Amino acid sequence: MARLVKEEHDVFIAILGEGVTSRYKKREQADQSVLQELRDHSGSVAKLIGAKDLFTYNLPDNRFDTLALLDVVKIVEDLIDDIQPHTVYTHHNGDLNIDHEVVFRATMTAVRPLSECPVRELYSFEVPSSTEWSFQKYHGGFRPNVFVNITDTIDVKIDAMQTYDGESRRFPHPRSTEALRSIARRWGSVVGVDYAEAMELIRLVY
């Protein structure tokens, strides 16, 4: 995202889940101040990256499988109608996190290749501590075939993650600063650059 902004593309971010209520036995037990803090962090990260806009929703954290898929599809469809993006990035369908799997499915439905659909490029990305923790047991695993050189923006990526106080972790957790940098360096080594972001191309229309 930081690289796209640097290249003067408009970047829009959508966060469908409210984020932390799965840490409580019942959703209504969640501390509202923690929810607000997470939203504030999301806004700070969007500004740090330089996103044009941030859309947040209140779907139940780690409970997307309790929702009608159509309800999630309609959220994504409305975003597509409003923004008219030519490129969309979404979660990998093999992630351990059920919310990611549902968002992938909803996105695939919302951007199906009808003549009026503006989306020409569709990618899935990996999420440290979710994609690799499925151990490739769901939907064939993450197989990246597109690599973006983020050598000039790796520090922005790290700073952005550190802004998420409640989501950042200490090494050896995959969301630690050291692990995130190592992951980017590993993908970079695959394609001959210092740091890279790996993605799986789903569809490309010229």
Strand order in the sheet with 146-149: 87-91, 121-125, 196-204, 146-149
Residues pairing with 124 in the sheet: 90, 200
Q: Which domain holds residue 158?
A: 2-204
Contacts for 26 with CB less than 8 Å, ≥ 6 apart: none
Instruction: Spell out the per-residue pLDDT of the chain, length 206, in tens.
Output: 999 999 999 999 999 998 766 666 666 656 677 788 888 999 999 999 999 999 999 999 999 999 999 999 999 999 999 999 999 999 999 999 999 999 999 999 999 999 999 999 999 999 999 999 999 998 889 999 999 999 999 999 999 999 987 778 999 999 999 999 999 999 999 999 999 999 999 999 98
Cis bond leading into 85, ω under 30°? no
Count how many domains the chain has: 1
Strands 121-125 and 196-204: antiparallel
The position carrying tokens 């996105």 is: 107
DSSP state of 19: S
CATH number, residue 146: 3.40.50.10320
